[in-house]
A and B are shown apart, each in its own frame.
Chain A
């Protein structure tokens, strides 16, 4: 990375962090005077996939059937771990919602570290909800360490374990189609998202409700996981505009440079 790249990266990180922090503040606690009113609540644009997801989770809880959350096969030490971290945030909220259900959510992952984190997240949610009796370590499972073994190990869960809703969020390859197909045969609801482009293309054709691009990171916010999740969506929107303006300005400058260069020559 050049110095300009690093500087631009630092600016984006600081800007994103500040936006998240400031937009999370007014709705939480910091009001210095009584006259300071909390800001108008940010309204998330309605997305049919998330409305269906909320309904499917509700039906699964009412029906006493389980929700299966797949976290993918991301390595926690690599850049693709962000998708799995988003999945873990979703899991935290999902576990809170499922406390009233007889059937706790089942979580599958393709790496040991994700399996441990999923168990930790479940344990934390059940402890907060004073429902530790429902927690079992085997609810968070590693089903296979390679791409295909992960899918092969997860398919029996979709087939056999009374699953009503499948939430697939994480790093996958095109093999995710097998999982979507298995869920489709069972007649269960499937919402799926991946950070990898080949998987996104495959999911568009195979999943009932595919999420494209950054929509994957919005799932916790739509499940009302907390203020920081809502504010992170706001930060994403702001940063997207910053990037768009930077790209357009860069392209215009490049065009001017080439025009002036050819005029001088």
Chain B
């Protein structure tokens, strides 16, 4: 077996956390579970630092590579350096520092959101060209129906027609039913994935 110690630790911790979620044992719920979760938070924090180091080293490597478009890497490294030094100098809690960072980050992300909106509209228009099956039609028609129904346009257009409110509520509840069905499937998939870790069948930590 690869990495037996790491596997034993992972399985033990998984079993303790799983039992603590279901069984009302004070030692598990009040002592072991919070302690293990606190340890995990610290490890995740350190992992984020390592991830940032990884990000920087990849972009440093790109700067040395003879390829076009490495200007972005230089820009990223410079931006990181300036933010890092300013963060150390002013501390991240400083209101001015937060304002500057937010005023740079928010417009950049908003512009990406705008690109996303255009891209989604364009792709939706192309959908029927790309997929010519019945489900594509169902998708397009249901999107229009629910856009109109959830937007409250039925009531606006038709006024107080008897039974309309009930029908509108019924239409609005349909996506919820579908969403619950999909989420149940995702939940079951998550459960079996977790169980594979508990059984030691999946060991992404065994490098």
C-alpha spacing A245/B52, complex, angstroms: 48
- Counting CB contacts under 8 A, is A232 at the interface? yes
B interface, by DSSP: helix, strand, loop or mixed? Answer: helix
9-residue interface stretch from A59-67, A73-81, A256-264 = A73-81
Is A189 among interface residues, defined by CB-CB distance under 8 A? no
Q: Does A102 contact B (CB under 8 A)?
A: no
Q: Are A232 and B192 in contact (CB under 8 A)?
A: yes
Which stretch of A37-45, A50-58, A110-118 is in the interface?
A: A110-118
Pair B48/A88 contact, Cβ less than 8 Å: no
A256 to B136, CA, bound (A): 39
Contact across chains for A214 and B189 when beta carbons are under 8 A apart? yes
A229–B116 Cα gap in the complex (Å)? Answer: 35
Binds A, one of B54-62, B87-95, B148-156: B54-62
B interface, how many residues as a size bin? 35 or more
B61, B181, B186, B194, most chain A CB atoms within 10 A = B186
A153 to B76: give the CA distance in the assembly, Å: 10
B160-188: which residues lie under 8 A (CB-CB) from chain A? 179, 181-186, 188
Asked if A131 is at the interface (CB within 8 A of a chain B CB), the reply is no
Say whether A142 contacts B204, CB under 8 Å: no
Interface majority SS on A: helix, strand, loop or mixed?
helix
Asked whether any CB of chain A lies closer than 8 Å to the CB of B197, the reply is yes
**Considering residues A24, A148, A174, A216, which has the most beta carbons from chain B within 10 angstroms of its beta carbon?**
A148
Closest to A109 in B: B51
**Nearest CB on A from B205, distance (A):** 6
A13 and B195 contact, CB distance less than 8 A: yes
Of the four ranges (under 10, 10 to 19, 20 to 34, 35 or more), the interface on chain A belongs to 35 or more
| A236 lies within 8 A of chain B by Cβ | yes
Q: In the complex, which residues of chain A have a beta carbon less than 8 angstroms from the beta carbon of B50?
A: 112, 115-116
Are B123's CB and A229's CB within 8 A? no
Q: How far is the CB of B171 from the nearest CB of chain A, in Å?
A: 17
How many whole Å from B159's CB to the nearest CB in chain A?
31
Q: How far is the CA of A258 from the CA of B124 in the complex (A)?
A: 44
Task: Flag if A88 contacts B204 (CB, 8 Å).
Answer: yes
Give Cα A239 to B194, complex, Å. 15
Across the two chains, which residue of chain A brings its CB closest to B109? A148
Separation of A151 and B192 alpha carbons in the complex (Å): 28
Q: Closest residue to B197 on the A side, CB-wise?
A: A85
Q: Which residues of B contact A206 (CB under 8 A)?
A: 119-120, 123
Given contacts A175-B112, A178-B119, contact A195 B206 (CB under 8 A): no
**Other-chain residue from A112, A138, A180 in contact with B52 (beta carbon distance below 8 A):** A112
How many contacting A-B pairs (Cβ < 8 A)? 200
Please state if A141 and B58 are interface contacts (CB–CB under 8 Å). Answer: yes
What residues of A have a CB within 8 angstroms of the CB of B205 in the complex?
117, 120
Q: In the bound complex, what is the Cα–Cα distance between A175 and B139 (angstroms)?
A: 20
B147 within 8 A of A: no
Name the residue on A nearest B135 (C-beta).
Answer: A204
Name B residues whose Cβ lies closer than 8 Å to a Cβ of A.
2, 18, 21-23, 37, 40-41, 43-44, 47-52, 54-55, 57-58, 61, 67, 69, 72, 108-109, 112-113, 115-116, 119-120, 123-124, 127, 139, 179, 181-186, 188-199, 201-207
- 27 inter-chain pairs at a CB distance below 8 angstroms, sorted by A residue, are A9-B22, A17-B195, A20-B192, A20-B199, A79-B190, A86-B193, A112-B48, A115-B47, A116-B51, A119-B207, A120-B206, A127-B207, A137-B54, A138-B57, A140-B54, A142-B54, A148-B109, A148-B112, A156-B72, A160-B69, A175-B112, A195-B186, A213-B181, A214-B186, A217-B190, A217-B192, A228-B201
In the A-B complex, the 4 residue pairs with the smallest Cβ-Cβ separation, listed nearest first, are: A112-B51, A120-B207, A217-B189, A82-B190
Q: Which residues of A contact B (CB under 8 A)?
A: 6-7, 9-10, 12-13, 16-17, 20-21, 24, 75-77, 79, 82-83, 85-86, 88-89, 92, 109, 111-113, 115-124, 127-128, 137-138, 140-146, 148, 151-153, 156, 160, 174-175, 177-178, 180-181, 195, 197, 200, 202, 204-206, 212-214, 216-218, 226, 228-229, 232-233, 235-236, 239-240, 243
